Amino acid sequence: MSGADDFRALHHGRAPGDPLVLPGPWDAASARVFEEAGFPALATPSAGVAASLGYVDGEVPADEMFAAVARTARSVSVPVSADIEDGYGLAPKELVERLLEAGAIGCNLEDSSGGAAPRGSRSVLACRSGRRRRCGRSPQACGRGGGAGPPPG
């Protein structure tokens, strides 16, 4: 099974009231601490990574963020998902390639930036995630049968 398969399996078949908790390592050292504590997967937080690199959240250059994700993923044997801001304006194929090169098995993307859509992507991201209140289309209209993540608030 691949890291992505392992990560997917952690999400499916969970009993009600048994949430999947993904701690957010800021760097390789904290990732190892979380892994040693028994967490089955990790999710890098953009704000934490930014702080560890001396930036404000949202201001980390793409190359530095992907390098930080790579250091984190290399340091542990559990799957690592990455918060990569709004995708840095990368085309989807390039974004996925960069994530895979960094060793990440998934990502989350910002769907807003201070109330404004980042690089024109709010409707696309909202619709793909099934958040129809933001984009006005049903998940089925987007080719998806359900939502992902918490409802917008």
The model's pLDDT over 38-52, given as tens digits with 9 standing for 90+, comes to 999 999 999 999 999
Q: Is there a contact between 68 and 50 (Cβ–Cβ < 8 Å)? A: no
Count CA atoms closer than 13 A to 43's CA, side-chain side: 12
pLDDT value, residue 41: 94
Q: pLDDT above 90 covers what percent of the chain?
A: 58
3-state secondary structure at position 27: coil
User: How far from chain centre, in Å, is Cα 74?
Assistant: 17
C-alpha triplet 70, 75, 79: angle, nearest 5° = 75
pLDDT at 97 over 90: yes
- For residue 78 the two structure tokens come to 């559990």
Q: Is the pLDDT of residue 54 over 70?
A: yes
Residue 1 pLDDT level (bands cut at 50, 70, 90):
low
The structure's pTM equals: 0.71
Beta bridge partners of 42: 80
